[in-house]
Amino acid sequence: MPDPAELLSALDPEQRVVASTLTGPMAVLAGAGTGKTRAITHRIAYGVATGVYDPRQVLAVTFTTRAAGEMRHRLGVLGARGVQAKTFHAAALGQARHFWPRVHRTAFPSVLDNKMSLVAEAAGRLRVRVDTATLRDLTGEISWSKVSNVTPDGYARHASGRSVSGVDPDTVGKVFAGYEALKRDRDRVDFEDILLCTAALLAEHEEVAAEFRRTYRWLVVDEYQDVSPLQQALLDLWRGDRSDICVVGDPAQTIHTFAGARADHLIDFPRRHPEAQVVRLVRDYRSTPQVVKAANLVMSAAGSGPSASITLQAQRPAGPEVALVESADESAEARTVAAWLAGLAERGVEWREMAVLFRVNSQSPSFEAALADRGIPYLVRNAERFYDRAEVRQALLVIRTEARVTPTDGEAQSTLARLRGLLSGLGWSAEAPTGAGAVRERWESLAALIAVADDLVAADPSVDLAGISAELDRRAEAQQVPSAQGVTLGTLHSAKGLEWDAVALVGAHEGTLPFVLAQSPAEVAEERRLLYVGITRAREHLQISWSRSRNGGSKRNPSRFLDPLRPAETRNHGVGGARAPRTKQSRRTVQSATCRSCGMHLESAAERKLGRHTGCDPTYDEGLLETLREWRRQEAAEQKLPAYCIFTDATLTAVAEAEPTDERGLLKIHGLGRVKVDKYGEHVLAIVDNARSERSSEKDC
């Protein structure tokens, strides 16, 4: 058992208050890089070391498997083994499966993989005609209702200002009720039901609540700014009339309101708990004063709201100034970023300690190409969880199996040589493959595993394959993603919770940051917080860049969020970087000769433009088409033009069919020439990419 005094001696004054105040309600407002996880894990460890806490009676909840795994690891190192550190849903699912059979005399129902089919069936039974877009909206609205504690009967009363593809609130409520009935009939629950069922067990059965509260005496909630009303209700039931709860979060990092996150639970905690002690962690240990100043300036411009109240205080020595860089076009911006990263590498910064962060995935290809041209290794961080990738699962199985085999004297190899030999059979090679695609992604995954092994052997040359296998399995359970020797490319959303020595924030211009679909003040405010999250990922080197045009086309302005960082005389017009000269480019279009749906020959020009027979089923995402139409409506209203002057319905349908990933793909669509691609291409590509990312996220869940 560690010495309690030594645990506290490792903390700063504010962290020490958090760690040593073991009873009563506490709210910790923790800015980025201020050591919030350190503070709360030391709090738990100190409570265990002093005998105030029984580790088996502590429940710590957070929002990701990776964060829960990291918390368990730190607690183990601090001597606080036995503490339950889980995600909200994992904790609730365990409780539901434990108590449900006792109360209902049957096993807890199976969890639905996807609720859309049952929503469609419920709508059909009510003779409500729905297309794919409407079905998607109805499904999303049901999820929002459930995390917001809105029942089917009460939906119409709470639906003021909400829009569901033209379906009236009463009908939405009836579809919601029908969906719930179908689930009950088939003995199924959905993702939100895990929390709802657990809450019902506690609320309706006092003996269940009493047993839970005897089991868990102390509650700690990480990332509290992200709790939904349903999660807050469950927390209240877990707690009962006791006051021993510690919550920690940062309102300035609330970037998931679309999933029901409500920072006001954190902000209003002192009002709900007047006896609560509130501690602000403001000492930033991650970033240099220059990076911290940029983050503070961006958030201070948001006004006097609660999210601007945490002003970070840098603790690190001074570093280089934050660079604001304007380029003529996106290709030039990508080349500039690649050159900057190459210069940092020459000064000793490792590739794995660099990142290029953007708002949407469609911005990635130009930076991938620029890095490849310079021979810079890179890895693309996508929505799929690393340890869920097929090649990673296969590699871990192969390593685990081989680790059980003891090589003969004649076959003896070094541990790393054995590992590389195993993974070379799965697609790894000493040199990265050229280009992008599945081969590159597979190589990146395997290279990341080898990088972990390299680090383990460097730390302990005696480690064998079994030791490497055990460590990889531990990291997989904790969703601790390895970092190979390559520059990370990823979205701002995917970067939350991570950090690098050097960060290039790219595409920081109007229409992308804030995103074109962010219209309301609340949506724009969330985009600002997203930039703040990106800035605070950098430890030392930070470059923020934008380009004046996509490819020599119409001009665009730097993001309004950068105004506090730019000299007054340069705002709303560039800070250097000449506009690239316009060059004539040939207009090339490719029309489909065969139908996407049936494969038969297309006769008419209209069908060739569409890519299918008008009588064949569409092959596009109808939700994407509706989003494109909504964007077109907004553009037309702003420019005071008829909608067809922006794009015709046929052109938007062709975009939804093709889902182009870059400018070249747009130019292949009939009706999209150079002028319109220059003017609207960036927004169209961003919308297409956003729809693709949402589909990927839904599949992940």
Q: What pLDDT digit, counting tens, does each position of 186-203 carry?
A: 889 988 889 989 999 999
Q: Is the pLDDT of residue 4 over 80?
A: yes
Q: Which tens digits make up the pLDDT trace of 475-528?
A: 787 666 666 678 999 999 888 888 999 999 999 998 888 888 777 888 888 899
Residues 27 and 251 sit within 8 Å (Cβ to Cβ): no
pLDDT at 545: 95
Residue 581 — very low, low, confident or very high, per pLDDT cuts 50/70/90? very low
DSSP helix, strand, coil percent of the chain (3-state; round to 5): 50, 10, 35
More confident residue, 578 or 408: 408
Residue 473 — very low, low, confident or very high, per pLDDT cuts 50/70/90? confident
Highest mean pLDDT among 132-141, 316-325, 617-626: 316-325
pLDDT at 33: 93
Residue listed under structure tokens 């083994």 = 81
Which residues of 69-111 form beta strands (DSSP E)?
A: 84-87, 110-111
More confident residue, 589 or 168: 168
pLDDT at 300: 86
Q: Is the pLDDT of residue 601 over 70?
A: no
Instruction: Tell me what percent of the residues of the chain surpass a pLDDT of 90.
Output: 35
Q: Is the pLDDT of residue 598 over 70?
A: no
pLDDT at 579: 32
More confident residue, 328 or 638: 328
Half-sphere exposure of 81 (CA within 13 A, CB side): 5
pLDDT at 308: 46
pLDDT at 40: 94
DSSP 512: B
pLDDT at 583: 33
Q: Which tens digits make up the pLDDT trace of 385-423?
A: 677 777 888 888 888 888 887 665 555 568 888 888 888
pLDDT at 507: 92
Q: Is the pLDDT of residue 30 over 90?
A: yes
Judge residue 73's burial from the number of C-beta atoms within 10 Å of its C-beta, 0-12 exposed, 13-18 middle, 19 or more buried. middle
Residue 597 — very low, low, confident or very high, per pLDDT cuts 50/70/90? low
Peptide bond into 567 cis (omega under 30): no
Q: Is the pLDDT of residue 257 over 80?
A: no
Looking at 361-432, list the stretches that DSSP marks H as alpha helix, in order from N- to C-terminal side. 364-373, 390-403, 415-424
DSSP strand pairing (354-358 vs 378-380): unpaired
CB neighbour burial string for 118-128, b if at least 16 within 10 angstroms, e if fewer: bbbebbeeeeb
Residue 677 — very low, low, confident or very high, per pLDDT cuts 50/70/90? confident
Q: Which tens digits make up the pLDDT trace of 216-256?
A: 999 999 999 988 888 999 999 999 988 899 999 998 888 87
Q: Which tens digits make up the pLDDT trace of 441-468?
A: 788 788 888 888 888 888 888 888 888 9
Q: Among 27-31, 524-528, 637-641, whose mean pLDDT is lowest?
A: 637-641
Could you tell me the pTM of the whole model? 0.69
Instruction: Tell me what percent of the residues of the chain surpass a pLDDT of 70.
Output: 85
Mean pLDDT, residues 653-676 taken together: 80
Residue 592 — very low, low, confident or very high, per pLDDT cuts 50/70/90? very low
Mean pLDDT, residues 102-128 taken together: 88
More confident residue, 546 or 517: 546
pLDDT at 660: 86
Going across the sheet that includes 277-281, the strands are 84-87, 58-62, 218-221, 245-249, 26-30, 277-281
pLDDT at 305: 53
Q: For all residues of the chain together, what is the average pLDDT?
A: 83
Quote the Cα angle for 434-440-442, to 5°.
Answer: 150
Contacts of 302 (CB under 8 A, 6+ apart): 308, 525, 528
User: Which token pair is 388?
Assistant: 């869920």
